[in-house]
Chain A
């Protein structure tokens, strides 16, 4: 069986099996074993992919498979992966795997919770493997919809409001996407049958007037979920209301669908318009980067802090993509992965801390390092990765982006780059502020001494994420090369000015 189909099948089968599970124990066991299997599959996929490449297979996408769904409209179930997709799939597998462990103690409607969570993951996997715009969009929606239930039912705080806001804003983005996708579908000058296949469309030419209309639609459509300023406001509310695993998956993976889509759909299919209009979005993303960072500095709720810092970091992803060259795009993908691991780690830890302190306001906490050394050290490591410490993943990603951005010689790009680079200082400020207030200082209350130590499933979740961060941070070459090799097709179409 094709390994990519297995990637969609395993979660699907897991949900089916889960229907028959009765107790919480059984549900957890099924979910955990299914996702462990999935993680192994992804590692095998990575291994096979690298093997194929080492063996000299130069095809753009590997492990392809194609089934016609609706031949007369040119819709077919085409799947295949390149280096970027492999990396993103691996990220998804790690995050969902740790997400299961982070939500080990969900009591309320646990079966439905895990089913929705895994359905969401299925959507994400489908999104990354599909080569057909229609199927891609289908899976995109499949990933977005369960989010509404997950936040609306299992969330906290103003959860209905947050769920509604998040879903509506993402749906707004989807609406633009549909128009954009159909626009590309109908205006590409294909001979004979029209097609939704991305690779086939990539070889066609869309008239420039049409590109100018549809590029902003596609870019904003994907940009909404990638937290593009000013369409990012769903993120703080959504993340702060969502349950732990959902925040992890959402910030860790779902927000990356935006960057991935911008790169592989918007820019790949509409390169000329991308060249022409990148400056508008560059302004927005530069604002995003520094604005998100500055807004983080004054937040007091841990989840808000992480949500706003995600705005800043994801802004950097889109910023790098808009630099429209190979180096910065490599950096963008690295940043997606790095931020995915980092932010998942943060949300997992926030959930774990919250389950003990019952508050997320940093001014009400302090001195956690003494009572919860393991979780605190994990938090510090996450923080250091976030502020770009060498040896952890954030550094690799950020530096690749900055070097790439510096390849442009004109003043506009220089200024934008320097604005983006200066965010590293602000990042350090807010990370150290949180670390200082939350973990260091005297212990805030007597009750802290009774906190349970980190449990085994919490350790699994955090350690696997930190392992990911460390592996990328210490040996980035293979990953960066894998991504870089896949970017040729996209970047070569861009005419740099």
Chain B
């Protein structure tokens, strides 16, 4: 069984990137869009074929489809570029290509009147290429390479409207924050590879074949724990986990389809994928690190859900919702065991990743359709849209139901698995997770009711239903959001590679549905028609509410640290020091030399009489010394 052709899944978007990039300005916009879309379309087809071929074969072994040495460091360490197929990478291939294809199609309509259409598709192709490369990486270093490429394409796409200062700032922030996290990732990779002697996942995912000296410790934790914590830091940065989440809300400055693809469905889950990829290593060597993963996940999911309830920018609400859902996935991974039924958390996490990609992308595309129609992001300026955009309304509702976890939509199944996995392992985290399930339903339906019901707002232009080119991709995703939950996910993906029979855990399912319905109910009461009760409730929460609207002042804290401390108190004085101390020292040397020479110069005055005086006194001294001293 050969998987050689999988190389084309990666190469086609890359070729599209090169063509669109080099031909920028020469190829008409329409054609460049179609080049990219067709390329990703073929990739999608190939991914489905791969998935079919891979999952129908009986074994769930890792398959190296392609491999070539890219760079050799020393006798043991080398970077290979290749394609590793195993259940999670194949699953990711499917998710990424599907969402990419949908977003590419959608973009054809959404970006139609923008300048830089070809540039947009070039960057989008670059992103798809890098994201695909990331998930099929055969080793940590390849993953890191594509990780960086994903980061840069995210930077380029957030800053797509590069003449808008806020977009530029957001792009810069996103890149630098994730870069900072990647620093941890890189150091972690270096440490792991130093102890393991390899970057290869084939070896790293079989902890029994590794010999780590766990003896070496640093501040009470073994070095391997530190290494894995640092790697998780990289994942937390990309996946916008607290406290490295600050870039994600700002990243919404990018075009909306970009937010759907990168900042909802694919790139931001890279961190989850990373932890899942190295899960055996985490489980075997660094249970402490897994506890940290669970804690950060639990904290972020609650933290982001609370903020999401208070935001008024439609895309920011979705961004915080994304953070919250990724926190869910991290939590599930963190509490998961390794073998058999213990590994439910692992399966659940990836299942949620899978379903979340569909409904969150749908939510973003729906938001895009709304923004396209009403030309604002602020939900306070929207209302009653169900009459103007009936189809969008239905699609958005499906997505909201899916994310709220109402059966039979996809979110219900994956969320149920996560909740039961968390319940089995950690009751406190279960409390948080259940609370967040309710909150999620509340803030999503708050959004839904304000936008589609609520007061009938007067619009300057009457909003119109979106054209087919926007609706068809959304319909595709809506189908996915509805049906994806019925996939017997555990059959394909589990922590130990053996099929995991998962059935719905009814008590928990009923609890979560009740919670979700409560959330929806509250939202219905507050927002279906305009009322003052939300404000009253907000007032009763007092400072909690205000700080939540201000995103708990984390941004301000970062600005204080970066601008106030690093820029003003470190970099500026350093530059001053360089000019006025080190350089001044060199100048002082030169000036001293100069001064001495000026002093000495007086001897060579050119005055013949001065010479004569010196000459004669010299002679006299010599003569007298001969006469009296040296007798």
* Residues A435-483 near B (CB distance < 8 A): 436, 439-443, 476-477, 480-481
Q: Mark B158-190, 1 if CB is under 8 A from A, else 0.
A: 010011010011011001100110010011001
* Residues A306-334 near B (CB distance < 8 A): 326-327
Bound complex: CA A165 to CA B585 (Å) = 12
The answer on a CB contact under 8 Å between B162 and A439 is yes
Does residue A406 face the partner (Cβ distance < 8 Å to B)?
yes
Partner among A237, A298, A428, A439 whose Cβ is within 8 Å of the Cβ of B567: A298
The answer on a CB contact under 8 Å between A406 and B69 is no
Bound complex: CA A432 to CA B247 (Å) = 15
The answer on a CB contact under 8 Å between A407 and B74 is yes
Q: Which residues of A contact B146 (CB under 8 A)?
A: 390
Bound complex: CA A100 to CA B590 (Å) = 34
Q: Mark B57-80, 1 if CB is under 8 A from A, else 0.
A: 000000000000111111001010
Q: Mark A401-424, 1 if CB is under 8 A from B, else 0.
A: 011101101000000001001101
Bound complex: CA A230 to CA B584 (Å) = 11
The answer on a CB contact under 8 Å between B575 and A428 is no
Q: Which residues of B contact A274 (CB under 8 A)?
A: none
* Residues B542-579 near A (CB distance < 8 A): 567, 570-572, 574-575, 578
Does residue B299 face the partner (Cβ distance < 8 Å to A)?
no
B368 nearest CB across to chain A (Å)? 23
* Residues A376-435 near B (CB distance < 8 A): 384, 387-391, 395-396, 399-400, 402-404, 406-407, 409, 418, 421-422, 424-425, 428-429, 432-433
B373 nearest CB across to chain A (Å)? 27
Bound complex: CA A156 to CA B152 (Å) = 36
Please count how many residues in chain A sit with their CB below 8 Å of the partner chain's CB atoms: 55
Does residue A299 face the partner (Cβ distance < 8 Å to B)?
yes
The answer on a CB contact under 8 Å between B73 and A440 is no
Does residue A370 face the partner (Cβ distance < 8 Å to B)?
yes
Does residue B583 face the partner (Cβ distance < 8 Å to A)?
yes
The answer on a CB contact under 8 Å between B194 and A298 is no
Q: Which residues of B contact A402 (CB under 8 A)?
A: 186, 190
Q: Which residues of B contact A168 (CB under 8 A)?
A: 590
Does residue A123 face the partner (Cβ distance < 8 Å to B)?
no
Of the stretches A125-133, A289-297, A343-351, the one at the interface is A289-297
Does residue A80 face the partner (Cβ distance < 8 Å to B)?
no
Q: Which residues of A contact B148 (CB under 8 A)?
A: 388-390, 395
Q: Which residues of B contact A399 (CB under 8 A)?
A: 71, 73, 79, 141
Does residue B586 face the partner (Cβ distance < 8 Å to A)?
yes
The answer on a CB contact under 8 Å between A298 and B575 is yes
Does residue A36 face the partner (Cβ distance < 8 Å to B)?
no
A234, A326, A436, A443 — most chain B CB neighbours (10 Å): A436
B3 nearest CB across to chain A (Å)? 24
Residue of B nearest to A231 (CB): B586
The answer on a CB contact under 8 Å between A476 and B582 is no
Decide: A425 near B176, CB < 8 A? Known: A389-B148, A402-B186, A476-B71.
yes
The answer on a CB contact under 8 Å between B571 and A389 is no
Q: Which residues of B contact A404 (CB under 8 A)?
A: 73-74
Does residue A158 face the partner (Cβ distance < 8 Å to B)?
no
Q: Mark A221-242, 1 if CB is under 8 A from B, else 0.
A: 0000000001001100100000
Partner among A237, A436, A480 whose Cβ is within 8 Å of the Cβ of B168: A436
Does residue B391 face the partner (Cβ distance < 8 Å to A)?
no
Residue of A nearest to B180 (CB): A425
Bound complex: CA A409 to CA B159 (Å) = 41
Decide: A233 near B571, CB < 8 A? Known: A327-B74, A441-B168.
no
The answer on a CB contact under 8 Å between A396 and B71 is yes
Bound complex: CA A302 to CA B190 (Å) = 34
Bound complex: CA A358 to CA B25 (Å) = 28
A211 nearest CB across to chain B (Å)? 27
Partner among A237, A384, A418, A425 whose Cβ is within 8 Å of the Cβ of B152: A384
Q: Which residues of A contact B169 (CB under 8 A)?
A: 436
Bound complex: CA A384 to CA B585 (Å) = 35
Q: Which residues of A contact B590 (CB under 8 A)?
A: 165, 168
Does residue A119 face the partner (Cβ distance < 8 Å to B)?
no
The answer on a CB contact under 8 Å between A424 and B176 is no
Bound complex: CA A297 to CA B566 (Å) = 10
Bound complex: CA A90 to CA B551 (Å) = 54
The answer on a CB contact under 8 Å between B72 and A480 is yes
Does residue A367 face the partner (Cβ distance < 8 Å to B)?
yes
Partner among B145, B194, B586 whose Cβ is within 8 Å of the Cβ of A169: B586
Partner among A233, A291, A428 whose Cβ is within 8 Å of the Cβ of B176: A428
Q: Could you list 22 examples of A-B contacts with CB < 8 Å?
A: A165-B586, A165-B590, A291-B578, A295-B574, A298-B567, A298-B574, A369-B163, A390-B145, A391-B145, A391-B149, A399-B73, A403-B73, A403-B193, A404-B73, A404-B74, A421-B183, A428-B175, A429-B176, A436-B172, A440-B159, A441-B162, A477-B70
Binding site for A on B (CB under 8 A): 24-25, 69-74, 77, 79, 141, 144-146, 148-149, 152, 155, 159, 162-163, 165, 168-169, 171-172, 175-176, 179-180, 183, 186-187, 190-191, 193-194, 567, 570-572, 574-575, 578, 582-583, 585-587, 590
Binding site for B on A (CB under 8 A): 165, 168-169, 230, 233-234, 237, 291, 294-295, 297-299, 326-327, 367, 369-370, 373, 384, 387-391, 395-396, 399-400, 402-404, 406-407, 409, 418, 421-422, 424-425, 428-429, 432-433, 436, 439-443, 476-477, 480-481, 484
Query: 3 tightest A-B contacts by CB?
Result: A390-B145, A440-B162, A233-B583
A-B contacts besides A327-B73, A480-B71, 6 pairs, CB < 8 Å: A295-B575, A298-B572, A389-B152, A390-B144, A432-B171, A477-B69
